[in-house]
Amino acid sequence: MRAHEAGALHGNDAAPTWLPYPSDVNALLDGLWSQTTVRGDDGALTTGGVSVHDIAEQVGTPAFVVDEEDFRGRAARFRDAFGEAFADLAGADVFYAGKAFLCTAVAQWMQEEGLGLDVCTGGELAAALRAGFPTDRMAFHGNNKSRAEIRRALEVGIGRLVVDSLDEIDLVSEIAAELGLIAPVMLRVTTGVEAHTHEFIATAHEDQKFGISLTSGDAFIAVRQVLARPGTMRLVGLHSHIGSQIFDVGGFDVAARRVLRLVAQVRSELDHTIDALDLGGGFGVMYNTQHTPSTPEVLAEGIARIVAVECEQLELPVPHLSFEPGRAIAGPSTHTLYSVGTVKDVHLGGPHHRVYISVDGGMSDNVRTALYDADYSCLLAGRTSQGAPEVVRVVGKHCESGDIVVKDEYLPADVERGDLISVPVTGAYCYSLASNYNHVPRPAVVSVRDGRLRTLIRRETEDDLLALDQG
């Protein structure tokens, strides 16, 4: 028995102030787990009717476990909430942000659920095309699109090409002329609004790489330049994105007002009515008990009121709106299943200690803790335990001190080598940011539904790792 198991310190001497002591360390916290994830009769987590033991046996660990029913349900809920909130205005579309997580199956799910799809690289476009996603329902983002990416997007009939700079206007116009096409252009503008989020993922303040500044007047210049090229470009609207992990509509209030003032200026000075806006997304999710995300209905109704009031004040017709809730669809629909290896009790001096639980993945499959100082939760997945709760730090197998998956969480004191643990809300920006650091193969991604398991992306092998090595 480890010294701290005796319970002298109740396992909570390392707990941060925000982390509540659990009344039941085996319980699934509401909001953290997908809708079909429960504990089975044997104490093991099941998602979509499939036990974590079956997943580990069939595909190994680590593994991303996608709850297909939950994923589709979240997409449909955003689609319906925004569709209903804007039904009496000019309507609204929801686009899934492929950068959160994209594979051919997910693209097909989003097509079937009636969403559009955002891509931001040639690779994401290739995945969407392989899935057969309709190109007229796709948007192509990116602050530094290559000539080849722009050409291919136009050749396949992209629905909207989101232009990110004045420089790109000339490039898109030139390529469109070469192809004999008219490029459907949406201009991304920066509104100077910094959403309440981590500074590294706030993307609408001025000092950043995205978009064309409203404050400097460049956004108006961009509109004028696009309108001056009717033979190669068609202005389909304006795009604004204010950040990520946003829990309320306050930032959208300011951003929408500023973008609509540009719409009014364009109508007044250029005699052109812009009839479509994309206000982005970045809607937040619950990663742990610190987070209280809004519902799609509350977000949709709040933004609809903001847009309607501002358009009335500016005497503008309400434009058609688009939104991009990528993280809020993908994130909570997935958990990552790991196997426990080393369990180490590190004494910190005096009565203080920290328990490090090492798993068979780490920053190669979830770099967000290291990159964004993100906080995650976790749960003993393969069984229940009567062990007393104690604070642990879940770390990976990589040769980095910053290789941390979960900084602080309560797990039972008897967690040991061979146990399975799961980290929830890992569906967004985890596999997408995955790497082969230390030559570690990337995990499998599986979907589960109605008691069946389906591999979406197979686990990489050592042969895959060495396939590009020319020796």
Enumerate the active-site residues: 399
Query: In this structure, are strands 138-140 and 38-39 parallel, antiparallel, or unpaired?
Result: unpaired
User: Which one-letter DSSP state was computed for residue 6?
Assistant: G
Q: Name the packing angle between helices 296-314 and 68-85 (round to 10°).
A: 30
Alpha carbon separation from 300 to 87, 249, 303 (Å, rounded): 11, 9, 5
Q: Which two tokens stand for residue 59?
A: 């595909």
Check whether 231 is labelled as a binding-site residue.
no
Half-sphere exposure of 193 (CA within 13 A, CB side): 23
Is residue 410 marked as binding? Answer: no
Q: What are phi and psi of 409, to 5 degrees?
A: -160, 155
Ligand-binding site membership of 372 (annotated):
yes
Please give the backbone phi and psi of residue 237, each rounded to the nearest 5 degrees, phi first: 155, -175
Residue 22 labeled ligand binder: no
Note whether 333 and 70 are within 8 A (CB): yes
For residue 389, give the H/E element and its range.
strand 389-395
Calpha distance 383→377 (Å, rounded): 17
The amino acid that residue 5 corresponds to is E
Give CA separation, 208 vs 211, 219, 280, 399, in Å: 8, 15, 17, 32
- What residues form DSSP beta bridges with 276? 320
Which stretches of 131-243 are DSSP H helices? Answer: 147-155, 166-179, 218-227
Nearest one of 168, 169, 132, 139 to 153, comparing CA atoms? 139
The reply, when asked if residue 429 is annotated as ligand binding, is yes
What whole-number distance in Å separates Cα of residue 209 and Cα of residue 470? 35
Identify the three-state secondary structure at position 117: strand
- Residue 332 gets which letter from DSSP? G
| Sign of the four-CA dihedral 26, 31, 37, 38 | positive
Cα–Cα distance measured from residue 310 to residue 249, given in angstroms and rounded to the nearest whole number = 14
Q: Which long-range contacts (CB under 8 A, 24 or more apart) does 142-145 make?
A: 143/209, 143/210, 143/211
Is residue 282 annotated as involved in ligand binding?
yes
How far apart, in whole angstroms, are the C-alpha atoms of residue 274 and residue 409? 49
SS3 state of residue 9:
coil
Please enumerate, by residue number, every residue annotated as part of a binding site: 282, 324-327, 368, 372, 400, 429
Q: Which residues line the annotated binding site for pyridoxal 5'-phosphate?
A: 282, 324-327, 429
Q: Which residues contribute to the annotated binding site for substrate? A: 327, 368, 372, 400, 429
